[in-house]
């Protein structure tokens, strides 16, 4: 029973957050933002391809079927992208604008290709996947917000809200499944526990929120909008 309890923990966590943000879309989100939030979550879920670079160097959670990339990883990425987009939609006016938003594929590639190149370069230099991810988040965020100063305050709000909420959630998760703390490598700095939460999870939460707030605003724009428009 204990083994099955922990084997399903990662999946249960993903399903919990999936239900939470879908309920938010149904009953709380502005009608015009619902489809946009869903698209943002689906786009962000593509980052699941990087999951094998974190397992087992950073952490090694159980997967159903023991696949290198499990459905749990996909749910986690989908949930993270959609939840950050839910927050962004509250403070970024264009998420609820009447004009249709389009995914600008060239602009997406213009940020994604250098971003992945930076991730793999830092990974090769340091051998630490979370170091590479945090550096990439910070670099891309800084580059976008340098060009879009009006987005800085919303990105900071998203960082604070998502960072605190996710850290509290991991704390609660580890109270329910205390042995799950051994999924994470204890190697510092990312494996060090801060109030019982692996520091890597805290750093990830506080950097992924402004990263995706800024990048999603950059790539989802009204058709024909100039780069300076919000």
- What mean pLDDT is predicted for residues 200-206? 98
* Per-residue pLDDT tens over the stretch 38-52: 999 999 999 999 999
Contacts 24+ apart (CB under 8 A), 193-201: 195/167, 195/171, 196/171, 197/167, 197/170, 197/171, 198/59, 198/170, 200/58, 200/59, 200/130, 201/166, 201/167, 201/170
Q: How many helices (H) and strands (E) does the chain have?
A: 8, 4
For residues 198 and 201, give the distance between their C-alpha atoms in angstroms, rounded to a whole number: 6
Q: Is residue 227 part of a domain?
A: no
Phi/psi for 198 (5° steps) reads -55, 130
Preceding peptide of 45 cis, ω within 30°? no
Phi/psi for 66 (5° steps) reads 55, 35
> Residue 227's pLDDT is what?
47
How far are the Cα atoms of 22, 43, 76 from residue 26, in angstroms, in the given order?
6, 20, 20
Residue numbers of the domain that contains 8? 2-222
Phi/psi for 197 (5° steps) reads -115, 130
For residues 167 and 157, give the distance between their C-alpha atoms in angstroms, rounded to a whole number: 15
* Per-residue pLDDT tens over the stretch 70-86: 899 999 999 999 999 99
Q: Is residue 40 part of a domain?
A: yes
Q: Is residue 228 part of a domain?
A: no
Q: Is residue 15 part of a domain?
A: yes
For residues 83 and 77, give the distance between their C-alpha atoms in angstroms, rounded to a whole number: 10
- Spatial contact of 36 and 85, defined as CB atoms under 8 Å apart: yes
- Spatial contact of 20 and 166, defined as CB atoms under 8 Å apart: no
Residue 66 backbone zone (phi > 0: left; psi -120 to 50: alpha; other: beta):
left
The torsion angle over the Cα atoms of residues 12, 204, 127 and 187, rounded to 10 degrees, is -70
Residue of higher predicted confidence among 227 and 140:
140
pLDDT band per the 50, 70, 90 thresholds, residue 230: very low
Total domains in the fold of the chain: 1
> Residue 59's pLDDT is what?
93
Structural tokens at position 13: 């966590």
* Per-residue pLDDT tens over the stretch 83-124: 999 999 988 877 666 677 777 888 899 999 999 999 999 999
* Per-residue pLDDT tens over the stretch 128-164: 999 999 999 999 999 999 999 999 999 999 999 999 9
For residues 213 and 220, give the distance between their C-alpha atoms in angstroms, rounded to a whole number: 11
Q: Is residue 229 part of a domain?
A: no
* Per-residue pLDDT tens over the stretch 164-186: 999 999 999 999 999 999 999 99
β strands within the chain, DSSP E: 101-103, 193-194, 197-198, 220-222
Q: Is residue 230 part of a domain?
A: no
Q: Is residue 38 part of a domain?
A: yes
> Residue 220's pLDDT is what?
85
Percent of the chain scoring above 70 in pLDDT = 93
Q: Is residue 107 part of a domain?
A: yes
């Amino acid at each position: 029973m204990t083994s099955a309890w922990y084997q399903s923990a990662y999946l249960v966590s993903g399903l919990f957050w999936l239900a939470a943000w879908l309920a938010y879309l149904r009953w709380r989100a502005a009608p015009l933002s619902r489809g946009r939030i869903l698209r943002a979550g689906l786009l962000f879920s593509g980052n699941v391809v990087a999951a094998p670079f974190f397992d087992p160097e950073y952490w090694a959670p159980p997967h159903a079927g023991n696949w290198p990339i499990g459905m749990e990883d996909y749910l986690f990425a989908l949930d993270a992208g959609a939840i950050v987009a839910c927050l962004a939609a509250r403070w970024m006016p264009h998420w609820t604008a009447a004009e249709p938003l389009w995914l600008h594929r060239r602009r997406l590639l213009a940020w994604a290709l250098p971003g992945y190149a930076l991730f793999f370069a830092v990974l090769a230099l340091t051998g630490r996947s979370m170091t590479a991810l945090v550096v990439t988040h910070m670099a891309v965020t800084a580059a976008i917000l340098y060009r879009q100063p009006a987005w800085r305050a919303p990105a900071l709000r998203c960082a604070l809200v998502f960072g605190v909420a996710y850290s509290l959630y991991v704390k609660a998760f580890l109270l329910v499944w205390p042995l799950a703390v051994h999924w994470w490598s204890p190697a510092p700095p990312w494996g060090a526990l801060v109030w019982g939460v692996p520091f890597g999870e805290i750093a990830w939460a506080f950097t992924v929120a402004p990263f995706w707030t800024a990048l999603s605003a950059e790539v989802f724009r009204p058709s024909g909008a100039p780069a300076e428009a919000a």
